[in-house]
Every structure is written in structure tokens, then in C-alpha cells.
Amino acid sequence: MKDKVVFDLIAKEAKRESNVIELIASENYVSSDVLVAQGSPLTNKYAEGYPGRRYYGGCAFIDEIENVAIERAKGIFGVKFVNVQPHSGSSANLSVYLSLLKVGDKILGMDLSSGGHLTHGSSVNFSGHLFKFFSYGVDRSTGYINYDDVQKIVNKVKPKMIVCGSSAYSRFIDFERFRTISDSVGAILMADISHISGLVVAGEHPSPVNFAHVVTTTTHKTLRGPRGAIIMTNDHDIFEKIQKGVFPLTQGGPLMHVIAAKAVAFYEASFPQFKIYQKNIIINAKALSSALIARGFDVLTNGTDNHMFVVNLIKKGITGKEFQDLLDSCFIAVSRSTIPNDPKPPYISSGIRIGTPAVTSRNMSEREMEQIADFISSIYLYRKDKQKLDSICKDVLTLTSKFPIPKSYV
């Protein structure tokens, strides 16, 4: 007998995903091939170890699948060595820290309120528990990373590792400059490109692979694959340490169904359509940020170079949490976000983060970005007018119904 409870809920979630204007910068819609690979019998298989060196029998096809995933990742990123086993971005970062550093070592990362990730040293995360983290933020007046300031902090702190990359920074990251700064104190440079890896593959954001000693990325954000992560490097010695750092140090059996789905996503990312897709993500992010600025919203750094931007809501007199909930009630999904030096705690926060990877997957373009900016601005204006809100919600559903979630991208 089928489990009606769970499958009914899955159906409801699928409907929600198709109804909403999805503007959460870290989300996307995978192809049905990625879904099928992830839902395949590979989930039944134990395969601790690496291709050719497993601790279980019956791994012939599993080995081939993992090798395909590795080769494809090497190809799309133009990198020498890849580990495709990390279960998530957080576990990839844990593996890197523990394989290349000693517990208690000093690391410099971007602070959370400026756009850094939890795993870049937050006190409530393993990173902050296990290592002595220091942080850099963004320039108070421009909102950009000030590399001279980063150099000054590095001179003082002398970290063993510098982590660059972020979850809510809308400008290009200068990996070359970060490498120069790292070299000045002999630190290891780690680039966490979880958010921007799709742009990097498409050549729409400078790549860190020739500058950072080690690169981590999730596979489910702009890369449009299954939930998971990979670790990359061009350095053979670092790779040997990373291999041990993933298994057996921090993980057991790899999720082979997810690795197969990663391989499918890398296949899809190797097509010219993927490059066009990433270009369009940026065109849409620029269009949506300009349209919101034109409607009186305060966008950090006044625009974006990538797939996302953060709106500072302080002058609007509404918190990030309130605005997120308000938009949610009208089928628009965003995530609240702290702003640099946020007066509010992260659970409330003073901003919202908006990203265009998902709406671009649905083939929306600049015209729809104008329409979405109108929705967001009217929802704010009429937040106390129930009747008006109801009519905006209807218009939102009309828009999403015209842009079905694609089943395939190549």
C-alpha cells in the first residue's frame, strides 16, 4: 500500500514550486534526468572508498559512474583533480579544513552579515567551534570588498588559511588578488564558489581554479544539479589530503545516486545552452535590481555582477522576516538576509536576498523582471490592503502559469 501521507505532501510541494516566482538565490529547478538519476536504484549501493579501491564488492558500475562524474567535472571547470563525494557544501568545507589544517588553526573568512556562509567561521557552526576564525567584511561606503583592508587584517592575523567566496555578495570576487594576499603570509587560499559555480563554468565570472589552492562548490545552486558538493584542486599533494579528508575522515559511504545525478548535471552544463542560460541569469539579475531601484528600493552596491543582490529594507520600515513572509503570502519566494552591520539578529534581519537562477530556468526574461519588480513594489505598498493583495496574488499565478518548469534543458 502506497504511503499516501508523504506522496500527497510531495505533490503539494511540487505544485507550490510551480506556482511561486522563485527568487531564492540558492535554489533552482533540476531537469527530469537529474531527478531520475537521483531517484535510481543506486541509492541501494554501499561504495565506501574510491573507484578501484572500494571496501565493498559489486562496485563495477558504481566505479564507472563516479569516474564519469569526476571526468565531467574536470572538463567543465578545467581543473586537474576533483572529489565528487561530499554530501553537501558544509561537509565539503569541513573536509577541506580538517584535511589541510589542525584544529585550532587560524582562518580568515568573510563575516556572515556581509555575505559569508555559516561554515566560514560562524560561532554557531562547527567552523567557529573547531578553528580560530577571524573575519573581513565589505567597505562601509561602497559595499564592495576592500582588498587593502583584507591585506591589513591578514598582516595582523597571519592566518593559516583564507576563505573567499560568499552566499550574499553581488560583485565579482578577485581571486587573483586574494592569492596575492594569501601568498604574502604563506596561507592556503580556499575559494568557496557554491553560489557562482554555474557562472564560472560558463565563463561569466572569473574562475578561481588557477588561483585558489582548493575550490569547493555546491552542485545545486547556479550549477543546477542535485543537492551536494564537490572539491577541486590543481595540486596533487593537496588532492591526496582531500581524498582522505572526505573518506574516511568526515564521511562514510558516498551517495552514489546523487553522484550519478551530479554527472548528469555536469553533462547538461557542457552544452552551449548552459552558457546562454548563465548569461541570461546575469541579464535578469541586472534588470530586476535596476527595476527595483527605479521603484525606490535600496539595493546594496547599487546593482550586481552576478546572479543575485541584497535589498536593504531599513528605509522601508519593514524587516527582512516580515517582507519575506508578506511576499510568501503572494507566491513570491525570497530569503531574508542580513545586511552589513545589521542592527537586527539574523533570524529577523534587515534585508532580503533576491536571485534569478530559478526564474531564468523557467525562461523568464527582462520583461518579466519588470513585472516582478512591479509585483514586489505593489505588495509592499498595499501590504495592509487585503483586497488589493488578493488581486496581485492572482496576477502572480497568471505569470507563473505561463512559464512552466522545463523538464529538460539540452
Ligand X SMILES: *Cc1c(COP(=O)(O)O)cnc(C)c1O
Residues labelled catalytic: 46, 48, 192, 218, 221, 227
Cell of 348: 529577523
Complex with ligand X: residue 286 or 307, whichever CB lies closer = 307
C-alpha cell at 98: 580538517
Please select the residue that binds ligand X; options are 137, 165, 208, 226, rule is CB under 6 A.
165
> By C-beta, is 192 or 305 nearer to ligand X?
192
For position 251 contacting ligand X by CB under 6 A, the verdict is no
Residues that contact ligand X, how many (by CB under 6 A): 14
**Cβ proximity to ligand X, 119 vs 290, nearer residue:** 119
Among positions 31, 218, 324, 400, the unique one binding ligand X when judged by CB under 6 A = 218
Report in angstroms how near the CB of residue 388 gets to ligand X at its nearest. Answer: 36
Tell the smallest beta-carbon distance from residue 114 to ligand X (Å).
12
303 burial class (0-12, 13-18, 19+ CB within 10 angstroms)? middle
Among 45, 72, 117, 257, contact with ligand X (rule: CB under 6 A): 117
- As measured in angstroms, the least distance from the Cβ of 155 to ligand X is 25
Tell me the closest approach of the beta carbon of residue 34 to ligand X, in angstroms.
16
CB of 118 to ligand X, least distance (A): 8
How many CA atoms lie within 13 Å of 310's alpha carbon, on the beta-carbon side?
25
- Binding-site member from 195, 344, 353, 362 for ligand X (CB under 6 A): 195
Type and span of the H or E element at 132: strand 132-136
81 or 169: whose CB is closer to ligand X? 169
Find all residues with CB under 8 Å of 7, minimum gap 6, and list them. none
Smallest gap from residue 211 Cβ to ligand X (A):
17
User: What residues numbered 48-77 form the site for ligand X, per CB under 6 A?
Assistant: none
Site string for ligand X, 11-40 (x = CB under 6 A): ---------------x--------------
Q: In 340-384, where does DSSP find H-type helix?
A: 357-361, 366-381
**The one among 166, 197, 304, 360 contacting ligand X by CB under 6 A:** 166
Ramachandran assignment for 380, one of left (phi > 0), alpha (psi -120 to 50 degrees), beta (any other)? alpha
Nearest-angstrom CA–CA distance, 396 and 331 = 7
Residue number, nearest CB to ligand X? 89
Give every CB contact of residue 249 below 8 A, 6+ residues apart in sequence. Answer: 95, 98, 99
| Binding of ligand X by 194 (CB under 6 A) | yes
Told to check if 349 binds ligand X by CB under 6 A, we report no
Burial level of 187, CB count in 10 A (0-12/13-18/19+)?
Answer: buried
- Rounded to whole angstroms, how far apart are CA atoms 313 and 302? 14
Q: Is 167 a residue that touches ligand X (CB under 6 A)?
A: yes
| Alpha carbon distance 120, 4 (integer Å) | 41
Query: Interface mask (CB under 6 A) for ligand X, residues 74-113, using x and -?
Result: --------------xxx-----------------------
- What is the spatial distance between Cα 25 and Cα 359, in angstroms, rounded to a whole number? 10
Number of Cβ within 10 Å of residue 64's Cβ equals 12
192 binds ligand X (CB under 6 A): yes
Beta pairing class for 53-54 and 49-50: antiparallel
Q: Which residues bind ligand X (CB under 6 A)?
A: 26, 88-90, 117, 119, 165-167, 192, 194-195, 218, 229
